[in-house]
Every structure is written in structure tokens, then in C-alpha cells.
Amino acid sequence: MTSATQPVVKLTLRLLSGPAGAVLVMTAIFVVATLAFFAINGREAVSLFQEMVMGAFGDSYSFSETLVKTAPILLTALAVALPARLGLISVGGEGQLYLGALFGTGAVLAAVDQPGWILMPLMLTGAMAGGALWGVIPGLLKTRLGVNETISTLLLNYVGILLVSFVVHGPWKNPNSLGWPATIEFPAGAILPQFFDTRVHMGLVFGIVAAVILHILVTRSRWGLGLQVSRSNPRVGATAGISYERNVLIVMAVGGLLAGLAGIAEASVIQNRLQDGLASGYGMTGFLVAWLAGQHFLRIIPLSVLMGGLLASADSLQLYAQLPKASADILQALLFIIVLAVASLWGRRRTT
Amino acid sequence: MEYFTTELLTLLFAALRSATPVLAVVLGEAMTQRSGVINLGVEGQMLLGAMTGFAVASVTGDPWLGVLAACFAGIALSMVHAILVLGCGANQIASGVAVLVLGSGLSAYYGTPFVGDKIDTLGNLNHTFVSDIPMLGQFLGPITPTVLITLLAIPAISIFLFRTRTGLRWRSTGESQDITRNLGHNPMHYQLAAIAFGGLMSGFAGAALAVDYTANWVEGMTAGRGLVAVGLVIVARWNPWYALPAALLFGASEALNLKLQSWGVNISPYLLATLPYMIPLSVLMLSYRGLRASGGGMPAGLRVVFQSAR
Amino acid sequence: MKKAIRTLLATSILAISVQAAAETKVGFIYVGPKSDYGYNYAQEQGRIYLEEHMDDVETVYFENIPENADVQRVMERMVRSGVEVVFPTSYGYLDHALKVAEKYPDVHFAHSGGLKTSDNLMTYFAEIDQAMYLAGVAAGLTTGTNQLGFIAAHPIPQVLRNINAFTRGAQSVNPEVTTSVIWTSSWSDPTREAEAAEALISGGADVLTGHVDSPINYVQVAERRGVYSVGYHADASQFAPKGWLVGAIWNWGPMMVNIVNSAKDGSWKSEHLRGDLLTEAAKLSDFGSAVSEEDQQTVLDRREAIMNEELQVWAGPVFGQDGKVIVKEGDTMTLEETEKMDFLVQGVQGRLK
């Protein structure tokens, strides 16, 4: 090594041991792992990988479908990231999504004959209320009764899904749907605007705007700084007049509200009604994305797009290689594991 | 009166059969948490165990081999959690979720070719001396080996944890890793063993569900039982003896749902289906005072896990 | 020599591409796994039959696609990859299929069940309740406790028809019979199906049947507890060698061939295509050893009667659970009325949830 290259090598190593290096390593390992997964299963690894990427971003249709998946993932990820800023580990995105859909649908059914400019805000308010409720309940359980929020949100997820099933099979079932458990079709005034001729809808815009607002609030505002203090030392925060309990309720409610918007968006635009099977695991995916992003609101945006692409491309895997849908879940999990491992190791290295 | 006792006993034993897989996971996860590690991935481990057990039972024709394979599958998957948490220092909740999704995906993926296979089951106590016992025989007869094994695990674990020296060190690891180190032992060894044991029990639980209870495999068949079990560990105060009533609570609410329907009770089955989740949640809510008073029973090391969200 | 090889290569490539151009691509979408010995298995058998009996047809299929808007994306991708005839095989796909059909007017859609069509979307189904009626006759003749058990997924008309037909069949030979229904709220939940089966047996039922995606679970529980079972969708008798009575099964293959042919030769009609026992789209499986020769003959006689229309499954009088008359003596329910069925008949115990 000459004296000229030494500083370059040193700089490269320094860069690699930082976050940039971590991302590089993660991406490399993930690509290798994906190729290996395809190869182990007897498929043409490289061409299948290409097919996957094309299926996610290849043409305008594929890209639009990716964005359709991005919206709910983005919102549920925010629903995890905000409470995480206070040190809360909420896995409740799925339940909050369902409750938002439930309350939003309730608003639509109650005001079904109203014109759009009344119906739409009612629907959105209802959805936010429902999602916020399903966030606040675990929050209250934690502050008043010491119930761990991870467990309570997990259990409430299942309850939320069942509540939707209840109304859809019972009181809100469309009498004209021949017994098929679903509500009536949403009137046009209750369907969120979509872009061009695709299924991409306003929910995506809500999500991006919310991410930006949250970022600014949490990093720049007094309240945001109060959150950080509250998290690291609730007692110190209390003496400064910041109530930990109140912050718990706020973050859980706001997070739930966002997930609730995801829910009503799915019901309104994608399904055009409320029914079972509204959201296939977006809550869990949102959790993964929030963690992948290190709970950073802005980073969540591109990561949601990537994850949306991964899920949307799952059909190309089945279509071209007869790989079952579950392969997308495996890849999702592999990605998460790789990121967790590399991020933790990198973090460790720097502190030692 | 006799009708009433029959109905009650039927319900009790239905609850027991339904609760066994959950009980096994609760026991395993309690041991894991006693060492200061929480593993949400038990749901994925259970699924992988169920699929592996069913597949092996189908291919080899021997359901016991299936159960054995399921245990190994559970251990193997739990090692991912161990590597992430112990090896890389990753956050335990996040790692658990990753393991959950991985187990769920792997079991769905590799399980597809086996759907619809017919396997031999483990048999039950019918046609043995047990079923000839007057009065109780008809209820004890349908009991299967996995139920017995799981029930036997309770005193076994209890003796291990509270009567042996290794058990003491195991528990002290959960309270404070420093103490264990000062005693000259590596806490990570205990945590590794704890995670592996949790994997074994959740794999076994999956086999109990697929090979024994339903003799069938369908993707996602555990339906959140693993996650409920993690909650039930808290309800059981991390004590193997309390695990039984905690799991029975869950099993009873499931059995009750179906029983109420067959009695013609006029409540929506969906609302009834929320019982298995609401009841453990309510118990968690109600035990607040008790938890606070006795310090909770939660291993101190675990408290730190719940407070950090890196 | 080289020239000959080159010509051979060229002609074979040409031949392959010409053949590829002439081949019709047909796509299938299943809501569950194709090997469930149940609903999806039956549709898959149809697809296999199609491939075997038609030379220039290439099929693709997707499994485990849930009944929500995701299926739209799957259908679109299918169509974009060249599929010309799409078979969305699950009831809940209908509205989504209609949307995609609107977008691609040149593609033909054949949806399983339902009462909506469009220019390029038809529905196909079979009167399997006729077979369930016959299965009910077998059950009514065999039961010792006069209690039948039915494990049902969702209270949609298709399921209600089966519960009612089964019960009426049993009542026609054994008026004391009652059917207890337990709802699992899911097309496929093995644990719940097993628990429901156990609960029904403990409650006294000695013949079990059901309408869930796969009969395997309750059939196996029935066999273990030593009671009888009646299958649905497909022949699952291997799971219950002792207790199997009979099963009501689908036979989609021939119907699917007709549909694809009509798409190819232009005779496509956007209709509600319905098969029945006569056209063999719905069949009775083989009897199990538990049904006596005499009883088998009774059932077969009834089958004759249905096939030459002497016996109508839905001819009045039909009484509701509360005893009120729903169909008067002398009237018969129309196809549309049966496909919109929203009641349970007298003798059925269980809430219409």
C-alpha cells in the first residue's frame, strides 16, 4: 500500500463502518439471500429476481400496484414509529386499521344519503376516531393498570378483526348481497379520490404528509423534545411539567388514528365496502418497516415503497415460477432479520 | 344434576384438549422469560413445528417421528432469535416478530405439498384401563399423549426451576445477569438454553395441534395461539403451576364459544370468538394490583427489555 | 448437413411459435390450497381434466388468493401475461372479477357461483344440493340417534341450501331427524372445525357433515369418535374407512371444457350456467361400507327420481325453523329463489348467524 492510497483506504473503511456501510452490507446480503432462496427451490435465480423487480417497478401498472400497497404500509409503520419515540412497543397497527375501517364505515352507513362534501369528512373523522380509540385503550391499560402494551395491542388486534367480522356478518350485512358477508357498496361520495386511472389513492398522500409533519413535530417542536425527555427519564420530565402518562395517550391515539386512515382507505377505495379480509397483514408489515427505518419518519417513506414493491411482486413469483405467495413473506422476514443483525452488529462495533 | 356435571366435565375436558398446545407454549416461553429473554417468535415456531410434524408424519408414516421432528424444527427456528438477540444484540421484540414472520412464511411455503395428506394419529387412552374407570372414563378416554406429556412437564419444570441449582442460576440470570456472572457462570449459556427450550416446547405444541388434535395442516392454523401464550405467561406470573389454569382459561373460552352455539344461545359467534383474547386481557388488567404488590413476579431482566425500543 | 440442421431448427422454431400462438391460455384462481380434498381440490381436478381433454390449451393457476381486492391484481397480471379465459373459482371474487372484466372486454371470465354477469363474465355452478339431499337420505336411514351434525362456514345461500337439502333428505325417510349447525366463521379453520365436530358428537350427533372448504377435519374426528360422516366437495372416504356414508361431490371438468370451447369458437353466452345430477356436474360419490345394500338402493332410486324430475328437492311444503310455511304445497322454488336462500328449515337447530 502506498502512502497515497492509505488515506483513501482508511476513509473507505470509516465510511463502511458507518451507516452507509451498514446499508450496503444489508442490501448485498439480502440480494444474495434472495438469489440463494430461489436457487435452493430449483428456480432460475437471476431471471426470477429480475421478474420480481419488474413486477414491482417494471411498468406503470406494476408501479401503481406497488404504490397501492405502499399507502397502508406507510400509515401503519407511522402508527408503530410514533409510540416508539416514547419507548412504547406497539404492534397494534392491524387492529387499529380494522377499527378505523369499522368506524369509518359506520359513518358512511349513517350518512349514506348525504352529498360527498359531508360524507367524506364524516367518514374520515369516523375512521380516525376508531383508530385512535384502538390506540388509546392499550395506552390507558398501560398507564392506569400497568398492562404491557405489546401484549395488549397484540391481543386487541384479534379482537378488532373479529369486531369487523361481527358487523359484516350481522347488523351491517348488505341485505342484497345474498348472504355474502359484506356491507353495501360505498356511495361515490365516500370513495377517496384516486390518481389517473389507477388504484393509487389519497391515502398515500395522507401518509407522506403525516410522515413529514411527524418528523418536524418530533424533532423540532417543544412537544417533540418533551417526548424525548419523557422517554429517557419520565421523572425528570415530570418535574419539567411533562406528563409521561399524557404523552402515552397522545402517541397511541395519533398512531392509531393514522392506522385507522389506512383502514378506511382500504375499505373505501380498494374494496369499495367493508368485509372480512380487509388487510392482509399490513399491521405486521408496518411494524417491520418502522423497525427497518429505525423509527425515523422520513426514512419510512422510501422503505414503505420498497416493501410495497416486494409484496406486490409476489404474484409474479407465482405466475412465472409457481412459487407460492408465502415466498414474499419469507423474503420479508429474511430482509428484516438481515437488517436487524447487521444494524445491531454495526451499532455494537461503534460503541466498543 | 347429573346432566349438569356431565356438561361441566365435557366442557372441562374440551377445554383441556384445546388448551394443551397453548399450555405447552406457555411453559416454554415462561422458561425463556425466566432467563430474561422474551421471544414473540413462538407463534412462528409453533407453525413451523406443526408443519414439520405433519409432513414428517405423512412421509414416514410415524406420528411420533413427526412430533420429534417438530421439536427440532422449533429449536432450529428459535436459534435465529438466539443469534439475533444474544449474538448480535438486537432488540428482542423486533427479533421475535422477525422470527414470527419467518416461521409463518416457511411453514406456509413448505407445507403446501402436504395439505390433504392423511396421517396416523398418536392414539388415545380409549380401550385402555383408563376408559374403564367408572364415571370419568368417558372423559379420560379421548385424552391423547400430548396432553399427558404437557401436563407432566409442569411438575418437571417446577422441580427444575425451584429445586435444582441449575434452576436457581437460570432464574438468577433473569433477575440480573451480573449476579450470574459473579457466581462464575455465563448468563448467555442459560439464555441460549432457555431460548432453545422455548423452541422445543413451541415446536411440540405445533405438533400437538397438527399431528394430534386435528391431524391436518393448513397454513396459519395456529391463529395467534402462540402470541396469546406470551400474554398468558404474564397471567401465570411466570409460574409453571399457574400456567395450567391460565391456559385452561383460554381453552375454556374457545370450547365455550362452540358449546354456546350448540346450545342455541343467541349471541353472534364472532363476539363469542373474542373471548379467548378478552379473558386473558381482563385477567392482566385485574391482576394489576396483585402484580404491583408482589413486585409482579416479573424477572427483573425482562423489565429492561420492555422499556427499551431501540 | 449444416444446412439441413439449420432448416430443421428453423422449422421447429416456427412450428413451436405457431403452436404457441394457437394455444389458448386459461387461468385459474383458488382461494385455498389445491390439495385440500375439498372445494379447491375439486376445481383443480377440473383444470386437470381440461388440460387432458383439450390439446391446444395451456393452463396456469394461483392458490391461496384471499377473497379481497388483491385478487384484482392477480387477475390483471394473468390477463397481461396472455390469459384469455379466467376462472375465478371462489364466491367472494365476483365483484372484483366484474371490475377486471370491465377493463378487459376481450377476455372471458367464468366465475363460480353468484348471480351477476356482464358481457364477458358468466357464472357456472351446479345444483349440488340435489346430491346433498341424497346424502341426507343416506344419513337419515343410518342414524341411530336421529341427530345429525352440520359444520358450516358462512351463512351464504349456497351453504344454507346444503344444510336445508341435507335435512330435508333425511327427514323424507326419517321425520324425527334434527340437524344441529355450528358456524366456524371461516372457509378453512381446521382447529375450529375439529372442535365443532367434537362438540356436535358430544351433543349426540352420530352423522357429521359440513360445508367448509375441506371435509378432512370433521371426517377424521368422526372416524376417531366412531360416528358416521358424509363428505362434501370431494371424496374423502380414505380418511374414514369405517364411518363414511357417502359424499356430494363436484365434477367440473366437462363443464369447464364446454366453457373454454365456447370462448374459442365464439358461442360464448354470458349466462348462469348450471349443472346438476343429470348433467353430472354434481355427483354422488361411492357409498361407504356403512351403508347397507338396501339403503343404497333407496338412495339410488331417489336419484333416478330427481334426474327425471319426478322429485324436486325444493317443492313445497317447506317450513321454516319456526314452523311457518315458506313454500306452499304445490309450489316449487325457482333457481333464483334458491340462490338467494336466507332461511333454515324446520328441524335445523342453530341460529342463522
pLDDT, one tens digit per residue, over B33-51 is 999 999 999 999 999 999 9
Non-local CB neighbours of B208 within 8 Å, separated by 6+ positions: B20, B21, B24, B67, B146, B147, B150
Q: Do A61 and C76 touch (CB under 8 A)?
A: yes
Q: Is residue C256 part of a domain?
A: no
| pLDDT at res. C6 | 58
Structural domains in chain C (count): 2
Question: What mean pLDDT comes out for the span C246-257?
Answer: 92
- Picking from B108, B234, B291, the nearest residue to A324 by CB comes out as B108
For residues C173 and C317, state if they share a domain: yes
Separation of alpha carbons B21 and B24, rounded Å:
5
Instruction: Please identify, among C126, C144, C163, the residue that sits at the C-terminal boundary of a domain.
Output: C126
Query: CATH number of the domain that B163 lies in?
Result: 1.10.3470
Separation of CA A296 from chain center: 13
Chain B residue with Cα closest to A82 = B309
For residues A281 and A97, what is the distance between their CA atoms, to the nearest angstrom? 10
| C275 lies in some domain | no
pLDDT band at A1; cut points 50, 70, 90: low
pLDDT at B310: 32
C-alpha span between A205 and C152 (Å, rounded): 42
Question: Which residue among C90, C111, C126 closes a domain?
Answer: C126
Residue ranges of chain C whose CB lies within 8 Å of a chain B CB:
33, 35-37, 41, 63-64, 180, 182-183, 185, 188-196, 198-200, 202-203, 214, 216-217, 220, 224-225, 238-239, 349-351, 353
Of the ranges C5-19, C50-64, C132-146, C293-307, which one carries the lowest mean pLDDT score? C5-19
Give the structural domain span for C306.
128-249+282-349
Assigned domain for C184 exists? yes
C-alpha cell at C17: 411459435
Claim to verify: residue C142 and residue C9 sit in the same structural domain: no
Please report, for residues A80, A311, B41, B285, C259, the alpha-carbon distance to residue A138 in angstroms, rounded to integers and kept in the order given.
13, 29, 21, 11, 54
Q: What are the boundaries of each domain within chain A?
A: 70-283
**Chain B, window 84-123: residues with a beta carbon less than 8 angstroms from a chain A beta carbon:** 84, 87-91, 93-95, 97-102, 104-106, 108-109, 112
Residue range of the domain that includes B206: 2-307
Characterize the bridge pairing of strands C282-284 and C244-250: antiparallel
**CB B123: neighbour CB atoms within 10 A?**
13
Mean pLDDT of B237-252: 90
Is 50 exceeded by the pLDDT of residue C100?
yes
| The model's pTM | 0.84
**Which one of A266, A319, A324 has the shortest CB-CB distance to C64?**
A324
Cβ pair C73:A65 closer than 8 A: yes
Residue A78 amino acid letter: L
Q: Give a yes or no: residue C267 inside a domain.
A: no
The whole-angstrom separation of Cα A234 and Cα A229 is 7
Pair C164, C83 in one domain: no
- For residue C192, the chain B residues in CB contact (below 8 A) are 258
- Chain B positions touching A159 (Cβ under 8 A) are 274, 277-278
Number of domains, chain B: 1
Strands C348-349 and C108-112: unpaired
Mean pLDDT for B129-158 is: 83
Sequential DSSP letters for A316-329: HHHHHH---THHHH
Burial track B147-160 (b if 16+ CB lie within 10 A, e otherwise):
bebbeebbeebbeb
Residues of C in contact with B104 (CB under 8 A): none
Identify whether residues C75 and C217 lie together within a single domain: no
A147 closest CA partner among B292, C343, B92, C60 = B292
Tell whether C53 and C157 lie within a shared domain. Answer: no
Residue A138 is predicted with a pLDDT of: 96
Domain boundary among C126, C148, C171: C126
Q: Does residue C230 share a domain with residue C81?
A: no
The reply to whether B295 touches chain A by the CB within 8 Å rule is no
- Nearest-Cα distance to chain B for A28, in Å, is 18
pLDDT at C20 over 90: no
pLDDT band at C151 (very low <50, low <70, confident <90, very high): very high
In which element (H, E) is residue C248 found?
A: strand C244-250
Listed in sequence order, the residues at least 6 apart from B204 whose beta carbon sits closer than 8 Å to its beta carbon are B24, B28, B49, B67, B70, B71, B74, B146, B149, B150
Assigned C-alpha cell, B310: 431501540
Please check whether residue C294 lies inside any domain of the structure. yes
Q: How many other CB atoms are there within 10 angstroms of residue B141's CB atom?
A: 17
In the predicted model, is pLDDT for residue C15 greater than 70?
Answer: no
- A323: number of Cβ within 10 Å: 21
Are the beta carbons of A341 and B270 separated by less than 8 Å?
A: no
Q: Does C306 touch chain A (CB under 8 A)?
A: no
pLDDT at A317 over 70: yes
Give me the half-sphere count of Cα atoms (radius 13 Å) on the Cβ side of residue C163.
34
The model's pLDDT over C280-325, given as tens digits with 9 standing for 90+, comes to 888 888 898 888 889 999 999 989 988 888 888 888 788 888 888 8
Distance CA B98, CA A157 (A): 18
- Determine which of B30-39, B195-204, B223-232 has the lowest per-residue pLDDT on average: B223-232
Q: How far apart are CA C269 and CA C267, in angstroms?
A: 6
C134 and C228 inside one domain: yes
Are residues C179 and C239 located together in one domain of the fold? yes
